[in-house]
Amino acid sequence: MKIAPVIRLINVTKQYDNSVLAVDSVSFEVQAGTLLALLGASGCGKTSTLRLIAGLERPSSGEIWLNDRLVAGNGVWVEPEKRRVGMVFQDYALFPHMTVTDNILFALKDFPRRERKARVQEMLELVGLPDMGRRYPHQLSGGQQQRVALARALAPSPDIVLLDEPFSNLDAALRRSTREEVRQILKSANTTTVFVTHDQEEALAIADQVAVLREGCLLQIGTPRELYNQPNQKAVAAFIGEANFVEGKALGQYVQTALGNLPLHHHQHGRVEVLIRPESLMLHPKADGAFRIKHVQFLGFDQFVTIPLPDKTEIYARVRSHIELIPDMPVDIQVQGNVCAYPLK
């Protein structure tokens, strides 16, 4: 018997009064305990989608189901406070005049009074701040404030936690450590989570599933590895990670390109653009190499190498720095693994 998803959107559309189509027939499911990232550029509809799940916006059409219960659509509307959803806003929305304990207690109004303080302490332990209850938000670092906001969201035991750009206010050094801490907290709580981000690395690093949106449409949903290695269209390939695109002719199992015949993930025919990730290019310095290096950018652990192709297209390789490469050096190029290709428009 198939287990019902915790979150299910069916052809959900949101059009605002100014005729802006923020969300366009979006459908997806989120299983229990999954951490889903809504990923896309500014204005793609990811925050609107989050707000629709939370009940902060009403869909123009379509259905939203939470725990197999219709909460929006077909004349049904369930208020946000009745959806068992916790939310962490971009600015954390902590009350500055309240202590950490009181901020978390604020979310426990419906809890039995005798259980509230124990629940607060349990949440502080969960987020790694057991001794911070008496402090005020201004006495905490950005990462600590974020964990308090997460503790407040988790305190009432919601079925779902929603986070809107949760790491955008943190500096780069803190962002990486904090996002892993937040992932561990959410996994420990076994909470179904949806978070919004424009940062591809962030989505790939901590999400179980990633949904890529553009102009209100869902382009692809899958695991980070699936989206990176086998994007279903050029727009997803270009948005997630660094990408080279080389023209070629697909002949079933392989594609003819300036870099040789390359094996395809899927059988195709006709003129195509081939996705080649920079790290999949191996460069072999050789006196009679078929290509010449144009530029080398040293980046420490690795180096970014620019190489023109015969049709003047420039491709980029990311190569370990222990291989000494210099401009005008002749090289042969080997492409590792199978490649994805997209019909040439």
Which two tokens mark 303?
A: 């180096």
Instruction: Express each pLDDT in 23-43 by its tens digit.
Output: 999 999 999 999 999 999 999
Answer with the residue of higher pLDDT: 178 or 263.
263
Run of H or E including 113: helix 113-126
Average pLDDT, the chain: 94
Write out the residue range of the structural domain in which residue 293 sits.
243-343
Instruction: Express each pLDDT in 184-197 by its tens digit.
Output: 999 999 999 999 99
- Please tell me the predicted confidence (pLDDT) of residue 1: 63
Run of H or E including 124: helix 113-126
Identify whether residues 97 and 118 lie together within a single domain: yes
End position of a domain, from candidates 187, 216, 238:
238
CA neighbours closer than 13 Å in the CB half-sphere of residue 232: 10
With 90 as the cut, is the pLDDT of residue 3 above it? no
Cα-only R_g, the chain? 24
CATH number of 307's domain: 2.40.50.140
CATH number of 94's domain: 3.40.50.300
Mean pLDDT computed over 73-95? 93
Identify whether residues 101 and 248 lie together within a single domain: no
Q: Number of structural domains, the chain?
A: 2
Percent residues over pLDDT 70 in the chain: 100
